[in-house]
Amino acid sequence: MILLLILIICLAFVVISIIRFDLHPFMALLLAAIGFGLLSGMSFDTILQSINDGFGGVLGKIGLIILFGVIIGSFLENSGGAMVLASRILRVIGEKSVHLAMMITGYIISIPVFADSGFIMLHPLNKSLSLKSKLPFAGTTAAMALGLTASHVMVPPTPGPVAAAGILGADLGKVIFFGLIVSVLSLFTCYIFARKYCDKVTVSNPIPAPAATELQQKAPGLFKSFLPVLVPIFLIILNSVAMFPTAPLGQGSLVNILGFIGNPAIALLIGVFLVMTLPERIDKKIISASGWLGKALLTAAPIILITGAGGIFGKVLQNSGIAELVSSQLGNTNLGLWLPFLLAAGLKTAQGSSTVALITTASIVAPLMPALGLESEIAKALGVLAIGAGSAVASHANDSFFWVLTQMTGMNIKEGNQVLSLGTIVFGTTAIIIISILSAFVI
To the nearest whole number, what is the mean pLDDT of the chain?
86
pLDDT of residue 210: 54
CA trace torsion 404, 405, 409, 413 (10° rounding): -100
Cα dihedral value 236, 240, 243, 247, nearest 10 = -110
Q: What is the C-alpha to C-alpha distance for residues 128 and 145, in angstroms, rounded to an integer?
A: 16
Identify the H or E element spanning 42. none
Distance CA 60, CA 48 (A): 18
Using a 10 angstrom Cβ sphere, with 0-12 exposed, 13-18 middle and 19 or more buried, the burial of residue 96 is: exposed
DSSP string of 51-87, one letter each residue: HHHHHHHHHHHHHHHHHHHHHHHHHHHHHTHHHHHHH
Asked whether residue 354 carries a pLDDT value surpassing 70, the answer given is yes
Determine which of 136-145, 259-268, 279-288 has the lowest per-residue pLDDT on average.
Answer: 279-288
Model pLDDT, residue 323? 63
Round to whole Å and give the CA distance between 179 and 232.
15
Average pLDDT estimate for 42-58:
91
**Which residue would you say has higher pLDDT here, 239 or 141?**
141
Q: Are 405 and 201 in contact (CB under 8 A)?
A: no
Cα separation of 412 and 406, whole Å? 6
What single string gives the DSSP state of each residue in 126-194? HHHHHHHTT--HHHHHHHHHHHHHHHHHHSTTSHHHHHHHHHHT--HHHHHHHHHHHHHHHHHHHHHHH
Confidence (pTM): 0.83
Phi–psi pair at 262, nearest 5 degrees: -90, -5
User: How does pLDDT run across 82-129, given as a tens digit for each residue?
Assistant: 778 877 877 777 766 889 999 999 999 898 888 888 898 888 778 877
What number is the average pLDDT over the span 312-318?
Answer: 83
Q: What is the pLDDT of residue 145?
A: 96
pLDDT exceeds cutoff 50 at 212: no
Pairwise CA distance, residues 36 & 3, whole Å: 9
pLDDT in the model for residue 330:
55
Maximum distance among all alpha carbons in the chain?
66
Does the pLDDT value for residue 150 go beyond 80?
A: yes
Residue 250 has pLDDT above 60, yes or no: yes
Query: Three-state DSSP class for 415?
Result: helix
214 pLDDT more than 60: no
Residue 157, preceding peptide bond in cis (omega within 30° of 0): yes
- pLDDT at res. 215: 46
Neighbours of 29 (CB within 10 A): 30
Exposed, middle or buried, 76 (CB in 10 Å: 0-12/13-18/19+)? buried
Residue 333 has pLDDT above 50, yes or no: yes
What is the reported pLDDT for 350? 81
Inter-residue contact 391 to 383 (CB < 8 Å): no
